[in-house]
Amino acid sequence: MDETNYSGYQNPRSPYGNKDNPSDQDYDQFNKPTSAYTKKDDNPATQAGAGFGNGVNLQPSYSNGGNADLGWSLMKENKKIQTVRIEIEPGQEINAKRWIKEALDNEYKVIATYHKSSVLASDDMSELQKAAQWWQANYNELKKNGAFTINLMNEWGSHVISSNDYASAYNKAIATVRSVYANPIIIDIPGYGQETLTAVDAVKGTTGTMITDKDIILSFHIYPGAWNQRRNRGLTNGDLDEMASTGLTCMVGEFGNKSISKPATSWSSLVDYAKSKGWPIIGWAWGGDNTMGNGSSQNMNMLKSENMEKIGTFEPYSPGNTVQYSKSNYFETVYEKL
């Protein structure tokens, strides 16, 4: 599979990883003094003293050029969905403002994520800094419709990035975002959200360089092919315990049941274990996953439409009109976990 293929509906690089690269396996937070669960300003994760609820991911940037109907009426029928994580490709700022407004109007907590599909798992520090500068330039406009939480960048950092480089890059990027945003920042751990030890070392400064801003939330991603390169094995409960040892808030930013690479992780039980710790879990995906081919029933999309095979997951958005989506066969895979 060509994972950088932008044909059709701009299917982004596969979140399942590169099956031909053993170091690129698959796409597959706790008692902290100031956390996403402690009252602070207008952060949506703290309203009414509540933490993030569990929820779903949306990736609308690649459907109809981002002019996507996100299926709120169907989502509202399924009450276990409390939070939406919306991935935003740079260049989609106008659409993103609508996406965020609609989510807030429908009373969901919102996590907004900078998602540059061409550089997933990159170790290029300039790309992380570009994400920080994007937030610096766009946050104040995007927040005009209400508060949301920033997920600085989707899946920056490879399986083999050093903890020192990871910490150094995030120290600079976080400082940039802090010029416009004072609340908790979600950061994805490296290696497609799977290198737990590298993230732990970066938070603790084990190998020399420490992430200095502790008002952060560590986000990891769970799929069957999830791979801990430093441990040379799949992810385990012990990896989550190790993340908890940082004292930071943690969350499952993505989870799903499919992978291109060979299964290495018991994804279902690991999601259950994270949930047992009280960590938010965010399923992949409500819609927008076209990795297995536009309109394929094998995509990890919870909703479907009559025209899915022609236009991808999301139907075009038209003001005043409501698209009638239905549940896919994949729907319960995510929903029963929430």
Domain positions in the chain: 7-335
Angstrom distance (rounded) from CA 285 to CA 301 = 5
**DSSP-derived 3-state class of residue 327:** strand
Phi first, then psi, for residue 315 (nearest 5°) are -75, 160
Nearest alpha carbon to residue 112 among 83, 79, 72: 83
Which listed CATH number (3.20.20.80, 2.60.40.1260, 3.40.640.10, 3.40.50.1000) goes with 7-335? 3.20.20.80
**What per-residue confidence (pLDDT) applies to 15?**
41
Mean pLDDT across 251-277: 95
Nearest alpha carbon to residue 151 among 36, 68, 279, 10: 36
Regarding beta strands 109-114 and 149-151, do their DSSP bridges make them parallel or antiparallel, or are they unpaired? parallel
In this predicted structure, the answer to whether residue 31 has a pLDDT above a threshold of 60 is no
Angstrom distance (rounded) from CA 221 to CA 254 = 5
The label of the residue with tokens 């729907």 reads 331
DSSP characters over 75-136: HHT-TT--EEEEEE-TT-HHHHHHHHHHHHHTT-EEEEEE--GGGTT---HHHHHHHHHHHH
Please report, rounded to a whole number, the percentage of residues in the chain having pLDDT higher than 90. 77
Phi first, then psi, for residue 230 (nearest 5°) are -65, -30
| H helix runs in the chain, sequence order | 7-10, 72-76, 93-105, 125-142, 163-177, 190-193, 196-204, 237-244, 267-276, 308-311, 331-335
Of the listed ranges 33-47, 101-115, 150-164, the least confidently predicted one is 33-47
Q: And the tokens for 235?
A: 């992810």
**Neighbour tally for 299: CB within 10 Å:** 24
In this predicted structure, the answer to whether residue 48 has a pLDDT above a threshold of 50 is no
**Running DSSP on this structure, what letter comes out for residue 68?**
B
Q: And the tokens for 9?
A: 């509906």
**Confidence band (pLDDT; 50, 70, 90) for 27?**
very low
The label of the residue with tokens 């992949």 reads 284
Q: And the tokens for 144?
A: 């005009």
The mean of the pLDDT values for the chain is 86
Higher pLDDT, 302 or 307: 302
> Which H or E element spans position 234?
strand 233-234
**What region, left, alpha or beta, does residue 191 occupy, with left being phi > 0 and alpha being psi -120 to 50 degrees?**
left
**What per-residue confidence (pLDDT) applies to 18?**
39
In this predicted structure, the answer to whether residue 198 has a pLDDT above a threshold of 80 is yes
Taken as a whole, the chain contains a residue count of 338
